[in-house]
Structure 1
Amino acid sequence: MSLSDQSREYLVRVVWTGGKSGDVLVSNKPTIRTGSPPEFGGTKEFHSPEDLFVASASVCFMNSFVVFTEKMHIRFESFEVEAKGLLEKVGQSYEITHLHMKTKVVIESEDLRSKMARALELGAKYCYVANSMKCPKEYENEIVVR
């Protein structure tokens, strides 16, 4: 399946389960238990909105990167991204003010390094979830030859 210029909608339902917790429901997908983080009176056992915010940008970046490696016909052995969102008080509220993604890609040959760097660059450029976020994004990419 490929993206077209056609608009899409994504339907998510959140159901309160008590306290500061709830379930994220998406049709035909596993439930995500969520709630406020401990620093805001919640519990650490559930994913917080902050976790999901950072994760959504990271997953989109990974997916975009994979799309470009497929288009470029290049292979990698492994990919991981460790992402950190900085939550700060801005005025009377809080905002994620910076998103840092540290990526490690393992490849089998030095010959692939420049193409892999390009795929990472394009993955960041075309990650529409991160592009929809107003905070600055920083990408730190490491390419390792095994």
Structure 2
Amino acid sequence: MAEEGQHIFWNKLKWTDDKKGILSFAEARGVPNIEFGTPPQFGGPEGKVSPQDLYVASLNTCYLTTLLGTMGHMGISLLSYESEAEGIMERKEYKELRRAPANEISKITLRIKIKADAPKEQVKLLLKHTGRRCAVENSIKSEVVVETTIL
């Protein structure tokens, strides 16, 4: 049960075989299951979404949904929006004792094309505030770069 000011997001997964599984969400919300797997770069199957894909996608989708909420409160309509997100995963060496090298997604670049029924300067400001309000961006350690084209 969530406490005051908290929201709970739930999922479960089941390993199916080899390097694959199924990710399930709250059935009451009608969210479809997602088949996932180890990335092909690490010997996983083709045609499956990977944890790394989901990580990068979570920032991309959170950015839009946060923007929509902010625009709704301000009475601004979104006319068009497209974005792509690219995450760079690299092997990091750690100077701390007893910590082995590990992969991490060190940087995510969002490339956004947006058109709204507001002046371009106001849209720029909205996008800046969106980054500050996006729960996923506030929760990750990856560097986030946002490149925008305001139409």
TM (normalized to structure 2)?
0.86
RCO (CA 8 Å, sep 6+): is it higher in 1 or 2?
A: 1
Q: Cα offset for 1:37?
A: 1.1
Q: 1:32-71 residue pairs with structure 2 within 5 A?
A: 32-71=34-73
Q: Cα offset for 1:44?
A: 2.2
Structure 1 stretches (4+) deviating beyond 3 angstroms? none
Distance 1:112 1:21 in 2: 47
2:119 aligned counterpart, secondary structure = helix
Distance 2:83 2:132 in 1: 16
Distance 1:107 1:127 in 2: 19
1:30 aligned counterpart, secondary structure = coil
1:74 paired to 2:81 = no
- The number of equivalent residue pairs is 139
> Which residue of 124, 127, 133 corresponds with 1:126?
133
Equivalent residue, structure 2, for 1:11? 10
AA matched with 1:9: I
Equivalent residue, structure 1, for 2:109? 100
1:135 paired to 2:134 = no
Q: What's the RMSD between the two structures over aligned residues?
A: 1.6
Task: Give the gaps of 5 or more residues in structure 1.
Answer: none
AA matched with 1:121: K
2:59 aligned counterpart, secondary structure = helix
Sequence identity, in percent? 28
TM (normalized to structure 1)?
0.89
